[in-house]
Structure 1
Amino acid sequence: MRFSIERATLLKAVAQAQSVVERRNTIPILANVLIEAVEAGVSFRATDLDIEVVDKAEAQVERTGATTVSAVMLHEIVRKLPDGALVTLTDDAVSGRLQIQAGRSSFSLATLPREDFPVMASSEYMTGFKAPASVLRRLFEKAKFAISTEETRYYLNGVYMHTAQGEEGPALRCVATDGHRLARIDAPLPEGAAGMPGVIVPRKTVNELRKLLDEGEAEIEVSVSETKVRFSNASLTLTSKVIDGTFPDYSRVIPTGNTRRLEVDAQAFAKAVDRVATVSSERSRAVKLAIEEDRLVLSVNAPDSGAAEEELIVAYADERLEIGFNAKYLLEIAGQVDRENAVFLFNSAGDPTLMREGNDTSAVYVVMPMRV
C-alpha cells in the first residue's frame, strides 16, 4: 500500500478515528485505525465495538492495500506536521511497519494485520430517512446536557430519538433526562421516518455525532434498526449500537397545569444566576428566586462563604412565589435559549417548572426545584 495525501485531509480523518478508540483496552487492535487504500481513495476505520466510524478521503493512490496502525500515534504525528505538507504513507510488508514521509520528516510505526481488525456486523435497517445536518444538530445539541451520568440507570445514559405527535404535527423528537431536568426537542418529521423504532443513542455517540453534523448544511442519511443507528454523509459514516433498555414515559413528568408565567431576557438571567452562584457552596449550588409583579430577585445565602443578591426586571403578573433551583441546572437550561426571551411556567415551590424559548413549543425543558 502506498498513497499521498494532504496533511489537512489526513488530520481531519485521523482526528475522527482517534476520538472513537478507547485509550485503555485489553485488545491491542482496538487502539488502531484500519487504513484501506483503493483506486478511488482511502478510508480510515476505527471502532470500540460499540461505535464504528469510517471516514473516506481523497488521495493519490499508487499501490492499493490495507493495514492497521495506532490511531493516537498517527494523529499526534500528523498534528505536528507543518500546514500544507504532502504526506506519503507506505506499508512495508517485509518489516511490518508503516512508513510516513512528509518533507524532511520520516516516521516508522508498528502495524497489526488487517485481518485481526473487527468490523461491526451490518444490520438490517428498518427505517431510513434524510434530514438536514442543522436539524439533527439542533435536536441532539439541545437535548444532550440532560443526559444522565448515573451508570445504574443505564437507559438514561443517552438521547431517546423517536417519532411523536408534536404541537405542530408529526415530529422527530429527541428527549434526555437525568431525573432532575429534562429536555424535549421536536423537528418536523422527515419523509420516510414514520414507523421508526424509538432508539436510545448513547452519550459517546451523541458527542461523536457533533463532528459529523458540524460539516455545513449537507443532508445526513439516517438508518435505524432496533439495535443500531447509522448516520452518514458523502465522506463519513458513524454506526453505533443503541442502548438496550426502555426509556421511561417522560410525558408524565412534563407539567401541563403550570399557569404562573415569567418572561425574562435569557442572557441577562443566565449572567445574573452565574454571578450570585459564585458564593454558593459547591455541594448544593442552590439559588432562590423570589418573584413578584414584574420583579425577580435572585439570591444565594451560603453561611460558610457569604451571600449575594441581584434584581431583574421581568414580565410577571401572578401572585408572589419563592422557589429554589440548582444553579448549574438553571445555567444549562438558559444556555439552550437561542431566542431573546426565556419563558418559565411555575405551579408551586414544590412542583416541576417548565421552560421554553419565547412562544416556541418545539423545545421544552423541565427542571425540578430544590429546597432553599
Structure 2
Amino acid sequence: MKLTIERAALLKALGHVQSAVERRNTIPILSNVLLSADRDRLTFSATDLDMEIIDETLAQVDQPGQITAPAHTLYEIVRKLPEGADVSLSFTGEDPRLTVAAGRSRFNLPVLPAGDFPVMSSEGLSGRIGVDVGDLIRLIDKTRFAISTEETRYYLNGLYLHTVVEGGSQKLRAVATDGHRLALAEMAAPEGSAGAPGVIVPRKTVSEARRLLEDAGETVDLQVSAQKVRFEFGGAALTSKVIDGNFPDYVRVIPRDNDRVMMVDNKLFAKAVDRVATISAEKSRSVRMAIEPGRIILTVRNMEAGQAVEELEVDYGGESFELSFNARYLLDVTDQIGGELAEFRFGGPNDPALVLDPTDPDVRYVLMPLRV
C-alpha cells in the first residue's frame, strides 16, 4: 500500500473514527484502525466490537492495499504535523511496519494484518430513513442528559428511539430516563419510518453520533433493526449494536392531571437554584421549593455549611405547597428550555412534576421530587 493524502483530510477522518477505539484493549487488533486504499480513496474503520465507525476521504493512491495501525498513535502523529503538509503512507511486505512521512518527519509504526480486523455486519437493517440533521441534533440534545449511567439497569443506559402515533399523526420520538428524571423530544416522523422497530441506542453511540453530526450535511440516513442501528453521514457511517432489553413503559410516569401551573423566568430561576445549591450537601443536592401565589421561595439547609434562601416572582395563583428537588436535575432541565419562560405543572407534594417549554411543544420533562 502506498498513497499520499492531505494532512487536514487525514486528520479529520482519523478524528471521526479513532474515538471508537478504547484506550485499554485486551485484544490488540481493536487498538488499531483499518486503512484500506483503493483507486482514489482511503477508507478508515475502527471498532470496539459493539460499535463501528467508517469514514473515507480522497487520496492519491499509488498502490492499493490494506493494513491496520495503532489508531491513537497515528492520530497524534498526524495532529502534530505542520498544517498544509502532504502525508505519505506506505507499507510493503519487506518492512513489517507502516511508514508515515511528511516533510522531514518520518515514523515507523507496528502493524497487524488487515485480515484479522473484525467487520460488523449490516444485515437485516431497514431501508434508509432520511432524517434532517438539525432535527436529529435536537432530539439528541434535548434528551441525552437523562440517560442513566447505572449499569445495573442496563436497559436505561441508552436513548429509546421509536415511532408513535399521537393525535392522528406519526412522530419519531426520543426518550431517556434514569428513574429520577425523564426527557422526551419528538418530531414529525420522516418518510419510511413507519413500522421500524423501536431501539435503545447505547450512550456511547449517542455521543459519537452527535459528534459526527457536526460534520454532516443536511440529512442523515438512519437504518434500524432489532439488533443494530446505522447512521450514514455522507462519507462517514456509524453502525452499532443496540441494547437488548425492554425500555420501561415511560408513558405511565408522565403526569396528565397536574393542574397547579407555575410560569417562571427560566434564566432567573436557574441562577437562583444554582446560587442556593452552593451550600447543599453534595450527595442529595436537595433544594426545597415553597410555592405560593405570586412567588417561590428556594431554601437549602446544610448542617455543616449553613442555610441559603432566595425568593423569586412567579406567575402562580393556586394553593401554597412545598416540595424538594435535586438541584442538578433542575438545572439540567432548565438548560434545555429555549424560551424565556419555563412552565412547571405540579400535582401533590410527592407527585412527579411536568416541565414544559412554551416555545417548543414537542419536548416534555418529568422530575421526581425528593422525599426529605
- Give 1:230-309 correspondences, 5 Å limit: 230-309=230-309
- Give 1:72-87 correspondences, 5 Å limit: 72-87=72-87
- Give 1:318-357 correspondences, 5 Å limit: 318-357=318-357
Asked if structure 2 preserves the Cα contact closer than 8 Å seen for 1:127 and 1:225, the reply is no
Amino acid paired to 1:254: I
Percent identical: 52
Task: Give per-residue Cα distances to partners, 1:163-184, cap 9 Å, x unaligned.
Answer: 0124582100011111100011
Asked if structure 2 preserves the Cα contact closer than 8 Å seen for 1:134 and 1:217, the reply is no
> What displacement does 1:216 show?
5.2
Q: Are residues 1:33 and 2:33 paired? A: yes
Q: What is aligned with 2:225?
A: 225
The 2-side partners of 1:88 and 1:166 are apart by: 55
Asked if structure 2 preserves the Cα contact closer than 8 Å seen for 1:92 and 1:99, the reply is no
Structure 2 unaligned residues grouped into runs of 5+: none
Amino acid paired to 1:289: M
Amino acid paired to 2:341: N
Q: What is aligned with 2:90?
A: 90
Asked if structure 2 preserves the Cα contact closer than 8 Å seen for 1:127 and 1:195, the reply is no
Q: Are residues 1:102 and 2:102 paired? A: yes
> What displacement does 1:127 show?
4.3
> What displacement does 1:250 show?
0.4
Task: Give per-residue Cα distances to partners, 1:329-356, cap 9 Å, x unaligned.
Answer: 1011111112221111001110000001
Amino acid paired to 1:33: V
Q: What is aligned with 2:185?
A: 185
> What displacement does 1:359 show?
5.3
The 2-side partners of 1:76 and 1:11 are apart by: 9
The 1-side partners of 2:34 and 2:150 are apart by: 33
Amino acid paired to 1:14: L
Greater shift, 348-357 or 88-97, is seen at 88-97
Greater shift, 43-52 or 16-25, is seen at 16-25
Q: What is aligned with 2:51?
A: 51
The TM-score, its normalising length taken from structure 1, stands at 0.97
The 2-side partners of 1:11 and 1:129 are apart by: 29
Q: What is aligned with 2:19?
A: 19
> What displacement does 1:270 show?
1.4
> What displacement does 1:299 show?
1.5
Amino acid paired to 2:232: S
**Equivalent residue of 1:74, what SS?**
helix
Asked if structure 2 preserves the Cα contact closer than 8 Å seen for 1:127 and 1:196, the reply is no
The 2-side partners of 1:84 and 1:313 are apart by: 57
Greater shift, 6-15 or 188-197, is seen at 6-15
**Equivalent residue of 2:324, what SS?**
strand
The 2-side partners of 1:289 and 1:84 are apart by: 57
The TM-score, its normalising length taken from structure 2, stands at 0.97
The 2-side partners of 1:243 and 1:234 are apart by: 26
**Equivalent residue of 1:20, what SS?**
coil
The 1-side partners of 2:81 and 2:210 are apart by: 26
Q: What is aligned with 2:9?
A: 9
The 1-side partners of 2:127 and 2:280 are apart by: 48
**Equivalent residue of 2:19, what SS?**
helix
Amino acid paired to 1:120: M
The 2-side partners of 1:40 and 1:334 are apart by: 49
Task: Give per-residue Cα distances to partners, 1:35-80, cap 9 Å, x unaligned.
Answer: 1111131111000011000011111222211110000101111111
The 1-side partners of 2:217 and 2:55 are apart by: 18
The 1-side partners of 2:169 and 2:309 are apart by: 43
**Equivalent residue of 1:61, what SS?**
strand
Q: What is aligned with 1:150?
A: 150
Q: What is aligned with 2:165?
A: 165
The 2-side partners of 1:197 and 1:233 are apart by: 21
Amino acid paired to 1:337: I
> What displacement does 1:122 show?
2.3
**Equivalent residue of 2:355, what SS?**
strand
Amino acid paired to 2:96: G
Asked if structure 1 preserves the Cα contact closer than 8 Å seen for 2:217 and 2:233, the reply is no
> What displacement does 1:188 show?
0.4
Asked if structure 1 preserves the Cα contact closer than 8 Å seen for 2:339 and 2:359, the reply is no
Task: Give per-residue Cα distances to partners, 1:80-128, cap 9 Å, x unaligned.
Answer: 1122222111113211111111111111100000000000122221343
> What displacement does 1:360 show?
3.0
Q: Are residues 1:311 and 2:311 paired? A: yes
Amino acid paired to 2:244: D
The 2-side partners of 1:364 and 1:151 are apart by: 25
Greater shift, 215-224 or 116-125, is seen at 215-224
> What displacement does 1:157 show?
0.6
**Equivalent residue of 1:73, what SS?**
helix
Cα distance 1:359–1:85, how it changes in 2: closer, same or farther (>3 A)? closer
The 1-side partners of 2:84 and 2:117 are apart by: 31
Structure 1 unaligned residues grouped into runs of 5+: none
Q: What is aligned with 2:69?
A: 69
The 2-side partners of 1:15 and 1:155 are apart by: 29
The 2-side partners of 1:274 and 1:175 are apart by: 26
Asked if structure 1 preserves the Cα contact closer than 8 Å seen for 2:222 and 2:232, the reply is yes
Task: Give per-residue Cα distances to partners, 1:209-233, cap 9 Å, x unaligned.
Answer: 0122112552100011110100002
- Give 1:200-215 correspondences, 5 Å limit: 200-215=200-215
Task: Give per-residue Cα distances to partners, 1:1-29, cap 9 Å, x unaligned.
Answer: 11222222111111222210111221100
